[in-house]
Amino acid sequence: MTYQWPSGNGAMAERIRQLYQASPGSVPLLTKSGGLGHLLDTALESPLPMCILWGDDALQLYNDAHADLVGDQHPNALGAPAARSWGQDWALLTEAWQAALRGESSLLRRCSLRIRRRGKGIATWLDMAFSPIRQDGVVAGVLLCPVDVTEQMQNEARLSEAAFHYKLSAHNHRLSEQRLQLALEASDLLGIWDWDLRESDYRQQPDFFSLVPMNMPGATPGLSLKSFTDHIHPSDRERMLAAIDHCIHHSGSLAERYRLNGIDEEVRWAFARGRCHYDDQGTPLRFPGAIMDITRQQASEEALRQSEAELRELNETLESRIQERTSALAEVYERLLAEMAKREQAQEALRQAQKMEAVGQLTGGIAHDFNNMLTGIIGGLDLIQHYIKSGRHSETQRFIEAATTSANRAAALTHRLLAFSRRQPLDLKRVDLNALIESMRELFIRTLGPHILIQPDLDHSAWAAISDENQLESALLNLVINARDAMPDGGTLRIATRNLKLEPGTRLGDLPPGQYVVLSVSDSGCGMSPKVLASAFEPFFTTKPIGQGTGLGLSMIYGFVRQSGGHVQLTSESDVGTEVSLYLPVHEGELHTEEAQVQPARSALARQGEAVLVLEDDAAVRLLVVELLAELGYEVLEAAEGAAALALLESPARIDLLVSDVGLPGMNGRQVADLARERRPDLRILFMTGYAAQAASSGFLEPGMDLISKPFTVDTLIRHVQDALGR
pLDDT digits (tens, 9 = 90+) for 612-647: 999 988 887 888 888 888 888 899 999 999 999 999
Distance spanning both ends of the chain, measured CA to CA: 137
Confidence band for 531, pLDDT divided at 50, 70 and 90: confident
pLDDT value, residue 360 = 57
pLDDT value, residue 182 = 55
pLDDT digits (tens, 9 = 90+) for 29-46: 565 555 677 788 888 888
Cβ atoms 612, 627 nearer than 8 A: no
pLDDT value, residue 548 = 47
Which residues have a Cβ under 8 Å from the Cβ of 73 and sit 6 or more positions away?
Answer: 85, 86, 115, 116
d(CA 524, CA 494): 9
pLDDT value, residue 412 = 67
pLDDT value, residue 685 = 94
> Quick count: other Cβ atoms within 10 Å of Cβ 143?
19
Is the pLDDT confidence value at 177 over 80? Answer: no
> Average pLDDT of 232-242?
89
Answer CATH for 611-724 from 3.40.50.300, 3.40.50.2300, 3.10.20.600, 3.40.640.10: 3.40.50.2300
pLDDT digits (tens, 9 = 90+) for 532-581: 777 666 655 555 554 445 445 577 777 778 878 888 888 888 888 889 99
Mean pLDDT of the chain: 79
Is the pLDDT confidence value at 652 over 50? Answer: yes
Percentages helix, strand, coil for the chain, rounded to the nearest 5?
A: 45, 25, 30
Could you write out the DSSP letters of every residue in 239-303? HHHHHHHHIIIIISEEEEEEEB--SSS---EEEEEEE-EE-TT--EEEEEEEEEE-HHHHHHHHH
d(CA 212, CA 193): 9
SS (H, E, C) 546-605: CCCCCCCHHHHHHHHHHHCCCEEEEEEECCCEEEEEEEEEECCCCCCCCCCCCCCCCCCC
Assess whether the region 11-154 and the region 177-293 belong to the same CATH fold. yes
For the chain, the domains span 11-154, 177-293, 426-585, 611-724
Give the least confident one: 212-216, 311-315, 620-624, 660-664: 212-216
Q: Quote the CATH superfamily of domain 426-585.
A: Histidine kinase-like ATPase, C-terminal domain (3.30.565.10)
Answer CATH for 177-293 from 3.30.450.20, 3.40.710.10, 1.10.260.40, 3.30.70.141: 3.30.450.20
pLDDT digits (tens, 9 = 90+) for 673-721: 999 999 999 999 999 887 544 444 456 788 889 888 777 778 888 889 9
Is the pLDDT confidence value at 656 over 90? Answer: yes
Q: Quote the CATH superfamily of domain 11-154.
A: PAS domain (3.30.450.20)
Is the pLDDT confidence value at 219 over 60? Answer: no
Considering the entire predicted model, what is its pTM? 0.39
Burial of 447 (0-12, 13-18, 19+ CB in 10 A): middle
d(CA 41, CA 63): 9
